[in-house]
A and B are shown apart, each in its own frame.
Chain A
């Protein structure tokens, strides 16, 4: 935001001073994050609200959190597990697919919702000030909630197939954090672009569709011929899903090299996306 703290005033006055001017820098990572921290309560309330509104007045309630991955698992199992028989490195196909879908559903739900996060709150954006990133981020946070519910189902599925549910699963947490950071970067990007170019909202579902099939979700990375594999490895989600799946299904722990692409991409993308977002934010209310 274009608010700059100006501590040097002639008047002895405890009140905070806010200066708004056109040429104030929009990208002040520390200041921006401090502003955001001040609105931590809003972020929390809005996120709770997302989760609550989604399940209020719906009969299935909490079950909706897992409907998407479960439904896709059933279809994948039918098509890739029964009809074409995709190799799964030894795991039952349903379990194999569901493990990948847990993380994928998080990505797709977050981005599908975050795309419209700003535009659907135009009414609010033109009336009240608050750090706008709270809107897309709250959708990502609400999707983390769904992810946690899906993880419980995943644990149940592991027990069903007689696989151990143990402390090893805790290693998925850093993977989920890495995925959440990547998704945050993308959510900031698409939500800000959608304000100016409504085409983004139409393109995102299609891009997600393409992304899903070019990511090893229905099939393992090992089934890709070696000469094409590099393209799949450049996809930041491949490494994350592959690592996630190896942690959950074993037998060996994943190689840390799987995380090189997603982590380095996020390290570049996240600050860039946040900077772009903050730059668009100042005049967002004028064009939304």
Chain B
């Protein structure tokens, strides 16, 4: 196993000037000047003895509350700042998707900025020239390429930023909380691009509060707490632990999933959606066939359950669709151990956008569901179809002559 990223007992200390006593005038100024030079400073350890490795082609998620040290790790990995102790080894070209468009200059045109931030990411000029058509296409800013970016909408701004960074071909990619940029359609494309890179074997470290995305993209997740690695393991395990940690608050409500099981030994392990090609991905294409699955773990056999899969609008939480096995009269026995209840969807009739999935499982012997899972799985539907409505109704169109009016009918 080749380890592309290796953090060996890395610590990072920041020094913050300690607060000064209230004083006035010249004395205060002098004191402040002096303190800038030699007064003791308060120490703050952003990271303490953090060790972890990322294997080639592996995607590792970093989660944790604000101030847990996630961003500090990324800063050390990118070389923005140096560790206080410890050593980091990185094999291969590293690129980071951190705060898109942060390197843009408002007075310069999109093209000039593309060169500027491309070269900041270590891209050579001729490489960028070769990639420019792809960048323009991905960002969808064709007509605005030679317009100063100060005239861009904020959406165009981040799209260009993402396009430049995403079309790099790094060996190691760092992604910091950029999954929530642009409109929903663009988000879907970003995720698809990241999933694409992952398939191609790019090693990834992903920081996000979007636990759904983390769970679906990452092979392994590290939970950071107060600058140390509190836990490392499968996405499911660590995310569950994180929810317990975050139960005291501090995590935005939107990111706090409800995920629990009741009295019976039956739980939902995961929700997945795969497109027409059968690969488990985050994204499906509008109008295409897809399969949603509820993976369950049962302590004993259940003769029949009513499994329900729901799709919600990401932004407003509107309940759009519910697929219930009982409603279509499908008997659904669950064997002991792990199994998958699959929903075969012949055509995805949602318009391109972001959705969340929810599921409940109720043994038919019970009045209420015993396992449920909401708000954790994000579904990205992409496609070029645009529709003001939520659903895509399949239809054809023709122009017909107006039906001939029959005077006889009118008079009768």
Chain A interface residues toward B at CB < 8 A = 1-3, 6, 11, 13, 15-22, 24, 38-39, 41-42, 44-46, 49, 52-53, 56-57, 123-130, 196-197, 199, 282-286
Band of interface residues on B: 35 or more
Interface pair A53/B108, CB less than 8 Å apart? yes
B297 to chain A minimum Cβ distance, whole angstroms, is 38
A284 to B81, CA, bound (A): 7
Q: Is B399 an interface residue (CB 8 A)?
A: no
Interface pair B112/A52, CB less than 8 Å apart? yes
A13 to B103, CA, bound (A): 32
A–B pairs, 20, beta carbons within 8 Å:
A13-B2, A15-B171, A18-B79, A18-B94, A19-B89, A19-B90, A20-B82, A20-B88, A45-B119, A45-B125, A46-B116, A49-B116, A53-B105, A53-B108, A57-B107, A127-B98, A127-B102, A129-B80, A130-B120, A285-B75
Q: Is B36 an interface residue (CB 8 A)?
A: yes
Interface pair A21/B112, CB less than 8 Å apart? no
A13 to B89, CA, bound (A): 14
A199 to B32, CA, bound (A): 12
A15 to B15, CA, bound (A): 35
A6 to B91, CA, bound (A): 10
Determine the chain A residues whose CB is within 8 A of the CB of B116 once the complex forms: 42, 45-46, 49
Interface pair A128/B102, CB less than 8 Å apart? yes
B156 to chain A minimum Cβ distance, whole angstroms, is 19
A47 to chain B minimum Cβ distance, whole angstroms, is 11
Q: Identify which of A17, A49, A197, A199 contacts B105 (C-beta below 8 A).
A: A49
Interface pair A20/B103, CB less than 8 Å apart? no
A38 to B77, CA, bound (A): 19
Q: Identify which of A11, A18, A53, A126 contacts B90 (C-beta below 8 A).
A: A18
Interface pair A126/B80, CB less than 8 Å apart? yes
Q: Is B86 an interface residue (CB 8 A)?
A: yes
Q: Identify which of A18, A57, A197, A282 contacts B89 (C-beta below 8 A).
A: A18
Q: Is B87 an interface residue (CB 8 A)?
A: yes
Q: Is B374 an interface residue (CB 8 A)?
A: no
Given contacts A1-B79, A21-B87, A53-B107, contact A15 B93 (CB under 8 A): yes
Determine the chain A residues whose CB is within 8 A of the CB of B87 once the complex forms: 19-21
A15-B93, A49-B112, A128-B96 are known; give 6 further A-B pairs, CB within 8 A: A18-B91, A22-B85, A127-B99, A130-B122, A283-B82, A285-B75
Determine the chain B residues whose CB is within 8 A of the CB of A49 once the complex forms: 105, 108, 112, 116
Determine the chain A residues whose CB is within 8 A of the CB of B148 once the complex forms: 56
Interface pair B80/A127, CB less than 8 Å apart? yes
A126 to chain B minimum Cβ distance, whole angstroms, is 6
Determine the chain A residues whose CB is within 8 A of the CB of B122 once the complex forms: 38-39, 130
A128 to chain B minimum Cβ distance, whole angstroms, is 5
Determine the chain A residues whose CB is within 8 A of the CB of B336 once the complex forms: none
A201 to chain B minimum Cβ distance, whole angstroms, is 14
Determine the chain B residues whose CB is within 8 A of the CB of A11 once the complex forms: 2
Determine the chain B residues whose CB is within 8 A of the CB of A17 once the complex forms: 89-91
A52 to B93, CA, bound (A): 31
A208 to B304, CA, bound (A): 86
